[in-house]
Each structure stands twice: as C-alpha cells, then as structure tokens.
C-alpha cells in the first residue's frame, strides 16, 4: 500500500502565509493527498484547527518548522514547540518528545541553511528533505538528495506551501503500513514517524522549480552505487 503525504505545509499561523486552515485542508483533499504535516514557523498554533477542518481520511501530522541557529528543521509528530537553538539541541528536544527530526531545505543558500557540523548533523537527524518545491535552484535539492544518499538517511519531500495552490506540489510517498488510529492517529508501530525512521519513504513531486531532475539524480546515484557494489562483489576491477 502506498500513501502520499505533503510533509511541509504552512498556514496563516506563519507570518509569511495567509492560508486559513480550511483552505489548506481543501487544497490537500483536491491534491489527493492521504496526509499533510502542518509545519508553521516555531508554532503549533494551527494544528488543532487543521485537524478539526480535515475529513477523517486526511491524516494531519503535528509539526513545527523550527528556526535553528543554522538552517530550518522540521519537527514531526511533536506536542511542544522545540526551542530556537543550536540544531543538535533542537534534534535532541524532538527526540525527547518521541518525534522525528528532518533537515528542511538544508542547502538552500537563498534561505537559512546548514554549513557547519554537517557530519554531526547527519549522525543526529532522522531524515533529509530532498525535494522542496520552493527551492529556486535545482542544485539545492540535488545537494540535499546527495547528502541523504551519502549518509544513508531517508529522504522526504514537501511543498513548503505558503499558499493553498502549492499544497501537494512536492510530497513524500510512504510504502507499507501506516496505521491511522490511536490517540493522535500516529502512536505506535506503523505510524508515519515509524515509516520515516524505517526508511519506507521517498520524495516526489513536480514542484514549480524542479523535481524531475531530482528524481533523475536519485536514480543516477542508486545506479552508480549498484554498479560499485557489483564490481566489489564480483571481485572485479574496482582497482585499476
């Protein structure tokens, strides 16, 4: 079974968005999504309003896009707003809450981005957003995809919608089981968080600026990795 989530959606609880919860929900339904993560800047204010507006078959993940001292960080499945702090401290806070930490548009140098402690970040974080439909330059997403592959991290996608029409432009495909149930619909095995942690996710979408290219790049990386493995396994010409 495959489900599709937009894992980065803003509402009018973000200063830079004027999208009311009801409009975001209807856009998500129109886009045929199975779920969205509400990820306003440093607030959980509108999560409940989006849940109230959502039909039963649209899963709403409680999230925050945290402003760290470096780049932005998606805190998914959290119940409290993490502090605006050093990224490693923010990731710790997310994990203490049982949430999932995802680097958000990590190398988009036209916005807040990451350039320090990248190895420590890769060790700490759960996933990398490799398709963000608001990255103006293709290479920002390509670098994020390469970083995820190099560090064997799951890759997610999100529209980063600030307007309803953008919802679903990029998304995360989840393979296998996602149980919607439990108290907040996300508890226990089979949750969206679990799917991210287990790597049962892949980014997709045809954003305004990109994304076929990212899919191509991901495919190229995989193919290249496969060839290297074959060479090593066959004891072949890895050295020449």
Which spans of this chain sit near Zn ion (rule: CB under 5 A)? Answer: 65, 72, 104, 160
Beta strand segments in 56-208, E: 59-67, 72-76, 100-104, 127-132, 155-158, 170-175, 201-205
Are 74 and 101 a contacting pair, CB within 8 Å? yes
What element of type H or E holds 4? strand 2-9
Reduced DSSP (H G I as helix, E B as strand, rest coil) percent helix, strand, coil of the chain, to 5: 30, 25, 45
Beta carbon nearer to Zn ion, 88 or 113: 113
CB of 63 to Zn ion, least distance (A): 10
Strand partners, 75: 64, 101
CB of 190 to Zn ion, least distance (A): 27
CB of 109 to Zn ion, least distance (A): 13
| C-alpha distances in Å from residue 141, one per residue of 30, 32, 54, 109 | 26, 24, 30, 11
Beta carbon nearer to Zn ion, 41 or 138: 41
- The residue whose Cβ lies closest to Zn ion is 72
Are 129 and 203 a contacting pair, CB within 8 Å? yes
Beta carbon nearer to Zn ion, 59 or 65: 65
Place of tokens 């287990």: 198
Place of tokens 């994990």: 95
Dist CA 17 CA 19 (whole Å): 6
Dist CA 36 CA 66 (whole Å): 17
Beta carbon nearer to Zn ion, 4 or 72: 72
Beta carbon nearer to Zn ion, 51 or 72: 72
CB of 11 to Zn ion, least distance (A): 11
CB of 56 to Zn ion, least distance (A): 27
Beta carbon nearer to Zn ion, 125 or 194: 125
CB of 229 to Zn ion, least distance (A): 35
């Amino acid at each position: 079974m495959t489900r599709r989530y937009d894992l980065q959606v803003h509402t009018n609880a973000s200063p830079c968005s004027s999208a009311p919860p009801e409009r975001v929900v209807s856009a998500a339904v129109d886009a045929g999504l199975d779920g969205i993560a509400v990820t306003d800047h440093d607030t959980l204010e509108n999560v409940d309003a989006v849940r109230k507006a959502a039909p039963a078959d649209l899963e709403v993940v409680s999230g925050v896009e945290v402003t760290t001292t470096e780049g932005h960080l998606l805190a998914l499945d959290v119940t409290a707003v993490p502090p605006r702090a050093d990224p490693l401290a923010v990731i710790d806070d997310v994990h203490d809450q049982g949430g999932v930490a995802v680097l958000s548009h990590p190398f988009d140098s036209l916005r807040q981005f990451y350039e320090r402690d990248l190895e420590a970040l890769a060790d700490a974080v759960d996933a990398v957003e490799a398709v963000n439909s608001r990255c103006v330059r293709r290479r920002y997403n390509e670098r994020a995809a390469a970083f995820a592959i190099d560090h064997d991290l799951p890759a997610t996608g999100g529209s980063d919608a600030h307007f309803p029409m953008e919802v679903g432009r990029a998304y995360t495909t989840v393979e296998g089981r996602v149980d919607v149930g439990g108290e907040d619909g996300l508890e226990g095995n089979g949750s969206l968080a679990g799917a991210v942690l287990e790597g049962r996710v892949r980014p997709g979408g045809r954003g305004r600026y990109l994304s076929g290219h990212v899919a191509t790049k991901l495919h190229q990386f995989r193919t290249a990795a496969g060839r290297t493995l074959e060479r090593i396994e066959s004891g072949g010409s890895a050295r020449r």
